[in-house]
Amino acid sequence: MQDLAQSLQAKVLTCSPTDHDRAVAWISHLPVMVSSSLIQACLQEADGTVRDLAQTLASSGFASTSRVGGGNPELGLMMARYNREELLRSLQGYQDQLATLNHLIETEQWDELEATLSRSQQARPKFL
């Protein structure tokens, strides 16, 4: 199988099922849930005028961020059902990071917020 994959110029990786499930929870399953949550949060805007305006103003940033959350619900459900433990673990890690950002903004720690955003900017290419 490996020879066939390599003949097709595929990159073959070997890992344990546990490591695979943990990794894909971070880079595949969590983004689906985060993206869906972004859409749901926007829909919670009680002022219809503001919600309509947000929908009108939404551009490439929102489109990119919400793309996977607007995908096939069955796929998202399967991710949650069959990788539940690791998805919950990654969701908790994400919630922790949101809490940190919330705290930095509430307490006006702009230098630390900038440092956090800079670390993210530097780390992103390693995931692409």
39 CB neighbour count, 10 Å cutoff: 13
What would the pLDDT profile of 24-38 be if each residue is shown by its tens digit?
Answer: 999 999 999 999 999
In whole angstroms, give the CA distance from residue 91 to residue 25: 9
> Does residue 116 contact residue 104 with C-beta atoms inside 8 Å?
yes
What would the pLDDT profile of 50-106 be if each residue is shown by its tens digit?
Answer: 999 999 999 999 999 999 999 999 999 999 999 999 999 999 999 999 999 999 999
34 CB neighbour count, 10 Å cutoff: 17
In whole angstroms, give the CA distance from residue 92 to residue 89: 5
Segment 99-118 mean pLDDT: 98
Residue 122 has what pLDDT?
98
Mean pLDDT across the chain = 97
Percentage of the residues of the chain whose pLDDT score is greater than 70:
100
15-127, CATH topology level: 6-phosphogluconate dehydrogenase C-terminal fold (1.10.3660)
Reported as a pLDDT band with limits 50, 70 and 90, residue 1 is: confident
> Does residue 69 contact residue 32 with C-beta atoms inside 8 Å?
yes
**Structural domain boundaries of the chain?**
15-127
**Helical (H) or strand (E) element with 105:** helix 84-106
